[in-house]
Chain A
Amino acid sequence: GDSVTQTEGQVALSEEDFLTIHCNYSASGYPTLFWYVQYPGEGPQLLFRASRDKEKGSSRGFEATYDKGTTSFHLRKASVQESDSAVYYCALISGGSNAKLTFGKGTKLSVKS
């Protein structure tokens, strides 16, 4: 079945640090890849997505590039802020008429000012 593996546990950074959260996937066909962000007390919300090889998704300074060769979709941000503290989920939907989103375990980002 489909699976997503991402940087586990917690990432602790200071403001203006560079962020990388790794995401690798295993899926049949050509999945659509997502990054979701979940702030405390809220549900996950879409950060951005990509559906083609080499496509770059981006939002709020975050970006990730779909790489079918390495089956990866790593999340990066050049300069994090305290307000970026949240849980980040990498996810995918692979084919079919009913979209079933498969998530990674999530990575908790804590940014200190």
Chain B
Amino acid sequence: DTTVKQNPRYKLARVGKPVNLICSQTMNHDTMYWYQKKPNQAPKLLLFYYDKILNREADTFEKFQSSRPNNSFCSLYIGSAGLEYSAMYLCASSSRDREGERLFFGHGTKLSVL
């Protein structure tokens, strides 16, 4: 099973309220990622876990939190949603083979902040 699962598929949130998105994979991958995708923009890496170590991108450091309670699960947490957080959020995990790194993506969670 090479799938990455994300829940929910659609999420509606109010401005100022917290948001928690969930991702899981059963491929025993060490690395899990969260990307943000807005219309007419490239998917943007927000953060990633390598094993239990969290790495957050410098320009999104204070906006997003994450946790990884075990190898299979990873969450993305927004403490206080703003309108600018409306986007598609893509979770991915990666494996390394003889050709190098390969990322597997979930179907995404579309977050709408009102």
Contact = CB atoms under 8 A, between A and B. Distances in A.
Interface of A: 4, 32, 36, 41-46, 49, 51, 89, 93, 98-106
Contacts of A103: 35, 42-43
Q: What 5 pairs across the A-B complex have the smallest Cβ distances?
A: A43-B105, A99-B101, A103-B42, A103-B43, A105-B42
Interface string B102-114: 1111111000000
Contacts of B99: 32, 49, 51
Contacts, number: 58
B13 interface: no
A93 B101 contact: yes
Majority-rule SS of A interface residues = loop
Contacts of B33: 101
B42 A32 contact: no
Given A98-B50, A105-B40, A49 B105 contact: no
Interface string B73-95: 00000000000000000101010
Given A43-B107, A101-B33, A103-B35, 20 more contacts: A4-B42, A32-B99, A36-B105, A43-B90, A43-B92, A44-B105, A46-B104, A51-B99, A89-B42, A89-B43, A93-B100, A98-B31, A98-B50, A99-B94, A99-B96, A100-B48, A102-B42, A102-B45, A103-B42, A103-B43
A43 B92 CA distance: 9
B84 to A, nearest CB: 18
Nearest to B53: A98
Contacts of B102: 46, 49
